Amino acid sequence: MDSATTSQVQLTVNGKPVTLELDTRTSLLDMLREHLGLTGTKKGCNQGACGACTVLVNNRSVNACLTLAAMCQGASVTTIEGISENGRLHPLQEAFIRHDAMQCGYCTPGQIMSGIACIQAGETYSAHAVREFMSGNLCRCGAYQNIVAAVLEVAEQAGGRR
Amino acid sequence: MMPFAFQRATALADAFAAAANRGRYVAGGTTLVDLMREGVETPERLVDINALPLHEIRLRPDHLEIGALARMAQVAANADVMRLYPAISQALLLSASAQLRNMASMGGNLLQRTRCPYFRDVTSACNKREPGSGCPARDGVNRLHAILGTSEHCVATHASDVAVALVALDASVRIASPEGERRIPLEQFYRVPGDTPHIEHVLRPGELIVAIEVPAGPHTEQSTYVKVRDRQSYEFAVTSAAVALAVDDGRILDARVAAGGVATVPWRMRHVEAALIGQPLSASTFRAAARLSVEGAVPLTFNAFKIELLPRTLVRALETLETLAVPAL
Ligand SMILES: Cc1cc2nc3c(=O)[nH]c(=O)nc-3n(C[C@H](O)[C@H](O)[C@H](O)COP(=O)(O)OP(=O)(O)OC[C@H]3O[C@@H](n4cnc5c(N)ncnc54)[C@H](O)[C@@H]3O)c2cc1C
Ligand code: FES
Ligand code: FES
């Protein structure tokens, strides 16, 4: 039985096919940052406890730090670098700027990816619902008020507010 | 992290063969990858079981069947689970974060390891991680540790929320191996630490959990899960309670009670149930029964408050059901 400690993985990142031969220990987070140069996704705790590394895998939000790259065979991954279209920011990115929903900005990519998942899930009927859905994203600067306001605004624009 | 080999299993037979070759199953990886990075777990080979057909949730005539690879988020949002087994859905929604619930499987959830900080820290002694090395939690930082089911060798809590709801609702796990399948009540699946805290359950090496089964009954619809935490979300339980009641004309016909955050394994409380059954649905019934929950509890330096908090958590859960039991006008 194969006992190699590297593994080949083929997946799609922000719409582009990628094939990599990686040490099996490589997390999806390190794959994105170290191997693909996509440093928008941040490493906060590396333990699933902060949400800075949130990306979408097959359109569901996950912690990239606890995801092994080898387990993403065939998956479609979307990171903060993949959400703008034709050079235009995603509506939630624009709303974050309008609402000043950040201070240091370290948690922001994760917040935005989680916010996109929140709006998609329709969990935007109240500020409380947004806070609960996004509780896996800590903000040490305490920008929560403005983050929630930005998410609610985009949900409303998208008609997603129930 | 120690280097390891990695392979994907596409059929049960592959998984068993890989496990026999010192392989360790990985589903969501949210426990295993985390503990491998801490050096607490050091498997030589990981066997990715996610391609196995164990993702379905099915409502059978006399029970609910949850595939071991169903995700926490998927089970929590399942319409049958929400309607017929609300305590299961609630316990899941009160667990971890949206991201982790998308990743984590139900089988992995049952097998998650304790959050005791001494267990997670390889520079510290821990009888669970290194048998015979000692238990620093006994005289250390033990505010979040157990008061029930402890031994002098280990006082770590079992951290799963949904396991508490499942134990209350008489769930069983179906376990497969090359020899066939066996079914074990979840309550008997877990082992209290005693003098072997490193042995946490009855799963044999290479055995695979394939499904969780929860029987139907008149009480399951009237079930709820209450979790008390240090912060409102994304936090493990300080105390928790899963309760279910079958009620007729203001009298309790049947009851199920289990507690979390307080015990070394998900803790079923049959003596509390016995004190509820046959009694009128009332605050005094709840309080008298809940008092019994801490009989035999052994508090540590910093967690004696749980002796007060646990009965209150149970009363809160029972009161939640009482409100539901009042027929809508
Ligand atoms: C920050 C954080 C917060 C959390 N908060 C909570 C919380 O509030 N409440 C709560 O209940 N949980 C909480 N958790 C724990 C989380 O729910 C578990 O980590 C998760 O459920 C484990 O599932 P998994 O599929 O990721 O397991 P894995 O990590 O893949 O596996 C865990 C273990 O189970 C074994 N295994 C997996 N599937 C099978 C199978 N089918 N048969 C046999 N063996 C198997 C693996 O070999 C491994 O030993 C939290 C976790 C984190 C990181
Ligand atoms: S870096 Fe992944 S959750 Fe903190
Ligand atoms: S803006 Fe600084 S951590 Fe959120």
Give, for A128, the enclosing helix (H) or strand (E).
Answer: helix A127-133
The 3-state DSSP class for residue B151 equals strand
Co-location of A22 and A65 in the same domain: yes
- pLDDT above 70 as % of chain A: 98
DSSP string, B86-126: HHHHHHHHTSS-HHHHHH-BHHHHHTPPP--HHHH-TTS--
Q: Evaluate whether residue A16 is within a structural domain.
A: yes
Contacts 24+ apart (CB under 8 A), A3-11: A3/B5, A3/B44, A3/B45, A4/B5, A5/B3, A5/B4, A5/B5, A5/B6, A7/A70, A7/B6, A9/A69, A9/A70, A9/A72, A9/A73, A10/A73, A10/A74, A11/A72, A11/A73, A11/A74, A11/A75, A11/A76, A11/A77
B233 and A132 within 8 Å at the Cβ level: the answer is yes
* A1 inside 8 A of chain B by CB: yes
Residue B323 pLDDT grade (very low, low, confident, very high; cuts 50, 70, 90): confident
pLDDT, position B326: 56
A1 within some domain: no
Residue A158 near ligand 2, beta carbon < 6 Å: no
* Tens-digit pLDDT string for chain A (162 aa): 578 999 999 999 999 999 999 999 999 999 999 999 999 999 999 999 999 999 999 999 999 999 999 999 999 999 999 999 999 999 999 999 999 999 999 999 999 999 999 999 999 999 999 999 999 999 999 999 999 999 999 999 987 444
Q: Where are the domains of chain B?
A: 1-51, 57-111+161-215, 223-324
What pLDDT is stored for residue B133 in this prediction?
98
In terms of CATH architecture, what is B1-51? 2-Layer Sandwich (3.30)
**Residue A106, domain member (yes or no):** yes
Whether pLDDT at B134 is above 70: yes
B29, B33, B99: residue with CB nearest A61: B99
* A110 in contact with ligand 2, CB cutoff 6 A: no
Same structural domain for residues A44 and A12?
Answer: yes
Nearest CA-CA partner of B42 in B2, B81, B97, B95: B2
Same domain, A72 and A96: no
pLDDT tens per residue across span B10-54: 999 999 999 999 999 999 999 999 999 999 999 999 999 999 999
Nearest Cβ partner for A24 among B6, B50, B100? B6
Q: Please, which pLDDT band fits residue B8 given cuts at 50, 70 and 90? A: very high
Q: pLDDT, tens digit, for every residue of B234-248?
A: 999 999 999 999 999
Domain's final residue, options A65, A82, A99: A82
What's the total number of domains in chain A? 2
* CATH of range B223-324; options 3.40.50.1220, 3.30.390.50, 3.90.550.10, 2.30.110.10: 3.30.390.50
B81-96 mean pLDDT: 98
Q: B78 near B89, Cβ under 8 Å?
A: yes
> Alpha helix locations (H) across chain B?
12-20, 32-37, 72-76, 79-84, 86-93, 98-103, 106-110, 117-120, 162-168, 186-189, 270-276, 283-291, 306-325
Instruction: Specify whether A11 is located in the same domain as A78.
Output: yes
What letter would DSSP give residue B185? E
**pLDDT tens readout for residues A143-153:** 999 999 999 99
A103 to chain B nearest CA, in Å?
A: 22
Find the domain containing A65 and state its range.
6-82
Q: Whose CA is nearest to atom 18 of ligand 1?
A: B109
Could you write out the three-class secondary structure of B40-89?
CCCCCEEEECCCCCCCCEEECCCEEEEECCCEHHHHHCCHHHHHHCHHHH
**Of the partner residues B5, B26, B102, the one whose CB lies closest to the CB of residue A2:** B5
- The enclosing H or E element of B213 equals strand B208-215
Q: Is residue A37 part of a domain?
A: yes
CB-based contact B269:B152 (threshold 8 Å):
no
Q: What is the reported pLDDT for A162?
A: 44
User: Which pLDDT score, from 0 to 100, does residue B325 have?
Assistant: 66
Classified by CATH at the fold level, domain B57-111+161-215 comes out as 3.30.465
Q: Are residues A98 and A152 in the same domain?
A: yes
pLDDT of residue A1: 58
Tally of CB atoms within 10 A around B233: 17
Residue A126, domain CATH: 1.10.150.120
Compute the radius of gyration of chain A from its Cα atoms: 16
Q: Are residues A116 and A141 in the same domain?
A: yes
Tokens 């440093």 appear where?
A: A39
Among A82, A113, A147, identify where a domain stops.
A82
B329 to chain A, closest Cα gap in Å: 27
Angle between helix axes B306-325 and B283-291 (nearest 10 degrees) is 150
No. of H helices and E strands in chain A?
5, 5
A146 shares a domain with A97: yes
Q: What does the alpha-carbon distance between residue B188 and residue B178 come to, in Å, rounded to a whole number?
A: 22
Nearest CA residue ID for atom 4, ligand 3: A139
Nearest residue to B143 via CA among B324, B327, B304:
B304
Listed residues A52, A82, A112: the one ending a domain: A82
